[in-house]
Amino acid sequence: KTYIPSRFAARAKVERRFKRIVICRPAVSKEKHKLGFRPGNTDMKMAEWMVPIIEAMRKEVSGTTLETWKGAGEFEIVPFETMRGRTFDDAFIILDEAQNCDVGDLRLFLTRIGENSQFVITGDTDQIDIHGSGLGEVIDILMDNDHPDLDQIEVVQFTEEDCVRSAIARGFVRAFKENDKKKKREAEAR
């Protein structure tokens, strides 16, 4: 879910379809989305969480290119705590790990999208680390909404067949899903 949009964003930037790439990812901490507990500046605080995105983008462009984009303000990592008041025009925007956002976070993110921008929200409802995830609610809003401005938005839901890491990873995805179903059946039988 992270790999595909990250590569696509880098490719779209190379092809000059967007002026910049914006990455958002919620920080899961005791104080919701607060990065203050981590040492260093914003880039240093977010570095560990950005590894999967950077690794995927480096399949499309060099690390030097990413640093050049960053220096020119064309590749930006935006924590939730600094997002208010921003508008992201002419950008490819990725919100990664959205299952760890509540509805308010998702509303904040979705209302930052400006002109000539494309956004991708990734998330896995089987990997929620917070109480009150809003990802399912936003998916329901999109599936049930017939507002003409939202017609172009697609919801893509991956299955274990879409797992591209390895056959072993795909096997574990299947095994855990089967185990979850078994536990649910056993709980219902009680």
Please, which pLDDT band fits residue 69 given cuts at 50, 70 and 90?
very high
pLDDT tens figures, 102-144: 999 999 999 999 999 999 999 988 888 888 899 999 988 888 8
pTM of full prediction above 0.85 = no
- Is residue 98 a contact partner of residue 121, using CB atoms and an 8 Å limit? yes
Res 86: pLDDT? 93
- Is residue 53 a contact partner of residue 96, using CB atoms and an 8 Å limit? yes
Tell me what the pLDDT averaged over the chain comes to. 87
**Residue that wins the pLDDT comparison between 165 and 29:** 165
Q: Which of 93, 85, 67, 80 is nearest to 31 (CA)?
A: 80
Res 30: pLDDT? 47
Q: Which of 89-93, 99-103, 140-144, 168-172: highest mean pLDDT?
A: 89-93
Q: Give the tokens for residue 36.
A: 């203050």
Res 1: pLDDT? 84
Res 37: pLDDT? 57
Tokens 């709980």 belong to residue:
187
Residue 73 has pLDDT above 50, yes or no: yes
- Is residue 58 a contact partner of residue 11, using CB atoms and an 8 Å limit? no
pLDDT tens figures, 40-52: 666 666 677 788 8
- Is residue 102 a contact partner of residue 133, using CB atoms and an 8 Å limit? yes
For the chain, what percent of residues have pLDDT higher than 70?
89
Interacting residues of 29 by C-beta distance below 8 A, sequence separation 6+? 35, 37
- For the residues of 26-72, what is the DSSP string, one character each? ---SSSTT--TTSSSSHHHHHHHHHHHHHHHHTTTS-HHHHHHHHHT
